[in-house]
Amino acid sequence: MTMLVAASASALRAVTVAAVASRQLSRTHSLRRPFADKSSCSTSAFLSQATRPYHSAFASSKRRDPLLAVRMNHKAALASAPGSSLPFEVTSRFEPSGDQPQAIEKLIKNIEEGDRFSVLRGVTGSGKTYVLGHTIARLNRPTLVICHNKTLAAQVARELKSFLGNNAVELFVSYYNHYTPESYAEATGTYIAKKSSVNDEIDALRHRATRALLERRDVVIVASVSCIYGLGLPREYLDASISVSVANSSNGSGVATSDALVAKLDAMLYDHVEDGDLLRGTYEISDDVSGKAIVTLWPPHEKMPIRVAFGTHRCGEQGILSIYQATNDASLTELEHFRIFPAKHHVTSQDKLGDACVAIEDELASRVEELNSSGKYVESQRLQQRVMNDLLMLRETGHCQGTENYSRHLAGRRAGEAPDTLLNYMKFAGDQEAGERGGDWLLVIDESHVTVPQLRAMYHGDRARKEKLVKHGFRLPSALDNRPLQEHEFWEEVSQAVLVSATPSKRDLERAEREPVDMVIRPTHVCDPVCYVRPKDEQLEDLLKEVRHRAKRKERVLAVALTKRDAEDLASFLIDHGVRADYIHSGLTTVERADALKSLQSGDIDCLVGVNLLREGLDLPQVSLVAILNADSEGFLRCETSLLQTIGRAARNANGEAVLYADRVTKSMQACLDETERRRKQQLAHNKENNVESKSTNGSNTLSIFDLLRDESDVESYGGREGDSNKKRIAPMQLVPSSPSVHKRNHLKRANGDIFMTEHIPSKSGVYFWKDANGSILYIGKAKKLRSRVRSYLSPGAKHSLRIRTMLEKAETVEFILTPSDRDALILESNLIKQHQPPYNVLLKDDETYPYICASIGDRYPRFFPVPRRLESAESSRYRYYGPYPHYSEINSILDSIERKYDLRVKSFAARYGSGSGAEYKQEFTKALKEVFEAPAADKNCSVLAKREEFEEAGLLIGSDYNHCRDVVAIEPHPNDETRAAVVYILQLRDGTVAGRFSYAATLQAGLKSVDSLSDTIHTILERHYQSAGEGIPGKKSFFPDEILTEYPVNDMKTLKQSIRSSRRQAEPNRKGAIQIRTPNKRGPKVRSDERAMIFAKDNAKQVAMARIIRDEVGALESSIDGTATKELARLLSLEKEPHRIECYDISHTQGMATVASRVVFIDGKPAKHLYRTFNLKTVQGVDDYKSLEEVLERRFRRMSSSNEDNDNGMNAAAGSGNGEAWSVPDLVVIDGGRGQLSAAIKGMTKANVIPRHTAPGAPLASASHTKRDTSVQVCALAKNEEKLFIPGRSSAVNHGAPDTPALLLLRAIRDESHISNPESFTPSLPEWSIADTVDHEKGRTKVLITLTTITKAPPVNLLMYYLGYIVD
């Protein structure tokens, strides 16, 4: 993306310079003049005109280069503005010495004579970077220096900047503070989603680097190996940018109002914020005191924000009145115009985005067919779900999580084609005609023995990881093209390269056309350090002595351990013994590593402990000792090259020494010692011959490269130029006026007076669900206080991203479930997101797990440490797990408490490094394990145990094995003793999540609230509950539990178990095993888990009961169900009689995870909840509503035929009860949909020998060709939006656009009930109303106007409530 910014800047600048040749070039594009009458043209169209003469010259180019046209404009611009790019010049006060002069001359000769590869082999401290600075200046060519890590890149950039002070030396490294790539572990079946955090300051440096490449030739870019990854879409990024000018709409940018600018900012993926909380890539809207609209934005490539004021010009036209940019001294700089670039790398025009989405859909269809044909149905479904979610977000917001995985389609590249990288931009800065491959730019690879293998391995590692993702349906095959360059693609872009290393590899030497350029003599005449080998027994004590000795001489020490943990422990050991120490390893962020090195250089610490970062290239002349622990541990970290590089850190100090702690001398150690001794003899001989003495250097500036470049970004002047003279300085003033106004985009739509009511939501912890009109989950979140959290979404001052605003536009209801604590809410939220993967959650947390404490009891030195999940493998017996915990911070708190009490890490480190006893450590570890993790819960003597139990409370509910397949039953009587009502609440816990919730209204016997009465009520409800079981819980979870936990004991346990087993045999004939029914245990291992689960169920039961009380207090008018609707419906559909039984069918998709059909039944105009059913599709793969309806209707009516045969044979003699009632003949079947869905339903019914009645005028009721056993049923379809009603035999609707008649209100209420009765998506069930004296089974979602577990928009009042006559004041 950074390169794209620079590409756009260069193109604009080229055009501007052509028009105004006298204007000085500046790095800041803020003050460029508008394009006059060309401003309304697209950038790409304008560029195509400007570059027309060059099209034929590059028509035969073999390699696609999207920047060729821009490059030609760039060169024309530079020609028109002499002095815009200065020649390279070395500004160092030192002259080359030692082996440096001959190295400079040899390198320049090799390069000028056309050698493609040259090798510079120089010992540590010989001044290789200084030689490169002189070589670059003499060649006067743009140069890319690639280093193998960020820390080294920062140092090299700092050194080159000190040598080439008048030229552009920029840093281009990965901007991730933390990065975990998306991956899939086949061995454990674990998917890990991409997780990362971006450092905005480093991102700004990347923007600076690419902008420099596009504006001048005297550029040196120091990059990490991440530069071979794609940088986005240059042309799309350029086209998406806009220019704003202080002009009206006729001669300016066309952005005449704040709304127009905001719309463009949204399209460029800027996020909207308020109250001055601006970050890069965001904007806010406000009004000043005079009423002018103000838009303040912060482009990602700018140091400070920009303020654009809108109003009416003197001519009467709307437009931009002023543009200001903030400065560090709290003043504002006035600008004439400004170019705004997108906030994200991957941005695509709407036209190309549409084409890309179609291409993605085509690839998805092909891949799904391929997976299905191979029998990989799970992978196929997984891929469909993910890609369809991504397509939804791409179409609605322009980007999605993991947009880069679709970069091939978004960029329009061919399969397998290489992405555009930093190397393409190097060609832009270089002379394209000068090199046969990539122009005349020069490549330098620092520490080539490490960097080149990294460049080679990155593609293969990325490919291997993504092939697993593609194989298992996590990504499309096109994701493989979001990749780094392959090795041959990388070298194809390079004309000439210099490979720099103190220990070049054999392959590096073979590449060079000539012998390597050697540098053995340092300019300071310092010799290689003296090396000592000492035993490991007393290595810690010996190291302490050495560090203290160096500290007295104001010298520093580097200590090298084998692991990150050892580095941390050694630093702690030294600090505990009075030594100023710190550690550095890959677990620290880029800036933290730089700060650690800075502390060593400045003398804030005396010893820095590392693992593998204290090697190549570090300029630390203050270090006089390198101590290598466990030097005889043969391996990569102790091979010859590693040892030579590490020892070399002491080669810049005249007192340099190296100590290798080892009990034996390995081959690598011996080779390292021999080579060091050879160099040392040669250096001593040179010093004696030339009569010179060794002298330590002072080193380069201790200021971190991040500090240096951060300061310089305030004033961006090249070669001493102060910038454009037409910048007007104004008096200091406030950047954002103090009277902010809320932009309309931050409001939830309130068409027709729709509002959300939140007063009834409890201020308790829980999980909430935003849903659309169809009941599909849009977003899942957690809250410590549900009411305030939900209100935060609806507040006029809410700060929402475009993604959340889009979600709220679609949202119709928000529902919730209470949890015992906010920790339970956190874990439940994660599991529900994993299960349902809502499209608007930031991260599809299908990999999200909550951490455990692991005790590695099988290790030689066992320890406690956090792990993200349990290890399920053959080695799992070596470990014990405790948890889960909602936060790593809670684990760290427990481990810190263990460490304070038992001092395990210190004792372990001492045992491993020879100064402690391993047996004593194991004894102490076992003591800690027993006291903290295995002591009885009643043992309150251990404070760490109490803390652990407190933090593990959430795991007792969600993470407990006891809740793997359990139903928890609670009963809540009405608080009024005179009221006989009670609520029975059933909570389904399956595999770490809540699979369903059911509430039943019951009447207690004679108003008694004794234990026996409550127990009998639970017994009755449970029998009815399991008799009404559907076809299982979606996601292959059984409706029937292994265990039922009841609040009160069931009196007739045997009868209840027999009834449940009988129901289970009918619904799940293959299900075996006993069903246990019990109350919470009072003792034993299940006590805490039982107690937690019952609290969970009881709290929600109280919430449902309270909802009923509120409803009763509000009151309900007399029911309006007088038969008017059914009579009108009979006339409308030409039915022979009023419909007694009406069934409605709906097809639901849980964000692509599964397709489920639901059936609702109304008897005499009232919902018959006990007859509701769900159907899991058996023959339909993917998303196909028509096939799904056909299958469901066929299965339903075949069940009816089977039921009728049973009745004919004397079974189910009691009509209207049991199975016969569930599958009896309906009077009317309603299909949710239009003519297509109606046709599909007719096909399914016909297959089951059920004949849909043709009610068109003159149509027969049934065909004469059917037998007497055939059944005739009326069927119709109700389409959404216009509410058109279709019947067989008519192409037009029968209701003539009248959606609010009593008949249509009834059908709409039934149709809406089918939407919300499908429990496929987890939805908390809602409080029911009592109808007659029946027990109301709530199975699914019921969207009501006022309730304690849901809120909806109102008016209009929910149709079902309206139809049933419940009116809320």
- Looking at residue 472, its pLDDT comes to 92
Alpha-carbon distance values, 1349 to 564, 757, 1327 (Å): 49, 12, 8
Mean pLDDT, residues 643-649 taken together? 88
In whole angstroms, give the CA distance from residue 988 to residue 1323.
12
Whole-number pLDDT of residue 549: 93
pLDDT attached to residue 1063: 83
pLDDT for 516: 92
Are 73 and 14 spatial neighbours (Cβ–Cβ below 8 Å)?
yes
| Of 158, 620, 648, 708, residue with least CA distance to 608 | 620
In percent, the amount of the chain with pLDDT more than 90 equals 19
| Least-confidence region, from 216-230, 369-383, 831-845 | 831-845
Report the range of poorest mean pLDDT among 657-661, 700-704, 727-731, 1360-1364.
727-731
Short-list 951, 830, 961, CA closest to 893: 951
Mean pLDDT, residues 1100-1116 taken together: 63
Residue 911, pLDDT above cutoff 80:
yes
Q: Is the pLDDT of residue 751 over 50?
A: no
Helix H or strand E encompassing 987: strand 981-990
Which residue has better confidence, 49 or 380?
Answer: 380
Where residue 775 falls among pLDDT bands split at 50, 70, 90? confident
- The rounded Cα 519 to chain-centroid distance in angstroms is 48
> Residue 118: pLDDT above 90?
yes
Task: Look at 239 and 1061; give whichever has higher pLDDT.
Answer: 1061
Which amino acid, 307? R
| Closest by CA position to 299, among listed 207, 214, 211 | 207
CA distance 704 to 1079: 65
Per DSSP, the three-state class of 158 is helix
Q: For residue 741, is pLDDT > 90?
A: no
Q: What local confidence, expressed as pLDDT, does residue 1110 receive?
A: 57
Instruction: Tell me the per-residue pLDDT of 1160-1192, one tens digit each, with 9 for 90 and over.
Output: 999 888 888 888 888 888 888 777 888 899 999
CA distance 242 to 1357: 45
Residue 488's pLDDT is 92
Question: What Rg do the C-alpha atoms of the chain give, in angstroms?
Answer: 37
| Residue 238, C-beta contacts closer than 8 angstroms, at least 6 positions apart | 4, 7, 8, 11, 43, 44, 70
CB–CB of 215/6 below 8 Å?
yes
Output the CA–CA distances (angstroms, integers) from residue 237 to 244, 340, 466, 525, 943, in the order listed: 17, 11, 26, 52, 58
Q: CA torsion angle for 587, 590, 592, 596 (degrees, to 10)?
A: 100
Q: Which structure tokens are listed for 1059?
A: 């009834």
| Chain-centre distance for alpha carbon 1310 | 39
**Lowest-pLDDT range of 557-561, 621-625, 769-773:** 769-773
Whether 349 shows a pLDDT value over 80: the answer reads no
Q: What is the pLDDT of residues 41-52, one digit of tens each?
A: 332 332 233 333
Residue that wins the pLDDT comparison between 876 and 1090:
1090
The set of residues, in sequence order, having a beta carbon less than 8 Å from that of 174 and lying 6+ positions away, is 150, 202, 224, 226
- Select from 1141, 1136, 886, 1103 the least CA-distant residue to 987: 1103
Confidence of residue 1154 (pLDDT cuts 50, 70, 90): low
Asked if 843 contacts 401 with a C-beta cutoff of 8 angstroms, the reply is yes
Comparing 872 with 492, the larger pLDDT belongs to: 492
Judge residue 442's burial from the number of C-beta atoms within 10 Å of its C-beta, 0-12 exposed, 13-18 middle, 19 or more buried.
buried
1285-1286/1271-1278 β-pairing: antiparallel
Asked whether residue 1142 carries a pLDDT value surpassing 90, the answer given is yes
pLDDT averaged over the chain?
75
Residue reference for tokens 């609670």? 970
Judge whether 324 and 304 are in contact, CB under 8 Å.
Answer: no
pLDDT band at 711 (very low <50, low <70, confident <90, very high): very low
Phi, psi dihedrals of residue 1094, rounded to the nearest 5°:
-70, -35
Averaged pLDDT, 1038-1054: 88
Mean of the pLDDT values across residues 846-859?
76
More confident residue, 1331 or 294: 294
pLDDT greater than 90 at residue 557: yes
pLDDT number for residue 544: 93
Lowest-confidence pick of 168-172, 531-535, 888-892: 888-892
The whole-number pLDDT of residue 462 equals: 92
Whole-angstrom distance, CA of residue 882 vs CA of residue 253: 62
Q: What is the pLDDT of residues 468-498, one digit of tens each?
A: 999 999 999 999 999 999 999 999 989 999 9
Residue 578 token pair: 């009075």
pLDDT at 847: 46
d(CA 518, CA 688) in angstroms, rounded, equals 20
User: What is the model's pLDDT at position 154?
Assistant: 85
Residue 712 reports pLDDT greater than 60: no
pLDDT tens sequence across 497-521: 999 998 888 899 999 989 999 898 8
How would residue 1217 be classed by pLDDT, with cut points 50, 70 and 90? very low
Q: How far apart are CA 215 and CA 1249, in angstroms?
A: 77
Q: How confident is the model at residue 1233 (pLDDT cuts 50, 70, 90)?
A: confident
Residues 1339, 1316: Cα–Cα separation, whole Å: 9
Give strand pairing partners of 676.
Answer: none
Backbone angles phi, psi at 882, to 5 degrees: -135, 130
Q: What is the pLDDT of residue 476?
A: 95
| Residue position matching structure tokens 């004949």 | 1251
Q: Which residues contact 1030 (CB under 8 A, 6 or more apart)?
A: 1039, 1067, 1172, 1173, 1174, 1175, 1319, 1339
pLDDT at 1173: 86
Q: Mean of the pLDDT values across residues 830-845?
A: 71
The residue behind tokens 């000068």 is 434
**Which residue type does 414 have?**
R
**Tens of pLDDT, residues 9-44:** 333 333 333 332 332 223 223 322 222 333 333 323
Which pLDDT score, from 0 to 100, does residue 930 have?
A: 87
Q: How confident is the model at residue 824 (pLDDT cuts 50, 70, 90)?
A: confident
What pLDDT score does 1126 carry? 83
The average pLDDT across 396-404 equals 81
Lowest mean pLDDT among 122-136, 397-411, 454-468, 517-531: 397-411
Is the pLDDT confidence value at 62 over 80?
A: no
Backbone angles phi, psi at 291, to 5 degrees: 90, 0
CB-based contacts of 1355-1361 (< 8 A; 24+ apart in sequence): 1355/752, 1355/753, 1355/754, 1356/752, 1358/1312, 1359/1305, 1359/1308, 1359/1309, 1359/1312, 1360/1167, 1360/1309, 1360/1312, 1360/1313
pLDDT reading at 437 higher than 60: no
pLDDT per position as a tens digit, 401-414: 888 899 899 888 89
pLDDT at 109: 93
* Greatest distance between any 2 Cα atoms in the chain: 121
Give the range among 77-91, 570-584, 1001-1015 with minimum mean pLDDT.
Answer: 77-91
pLDDT at site 1123: 67
Please state whether 447 falls in left (phi above 0), alpha (psi between -120 and 50) or beta. Answer: left
Highest average pLDDT, of 15-29, 156-170, 341-355, comes from 156-170
* pLDDT at 137 exceeding the cut of 80: yes
Whether the per-residue pLDDT at 85 is higher than 70: the answer is no
Task: Categorize the per-residue pLDDT at 1141 as very low, low, confident or very high, splitting at 50, 70 and 90.
Answer: very high
Tell me the average pLDDT across 418-443: 73
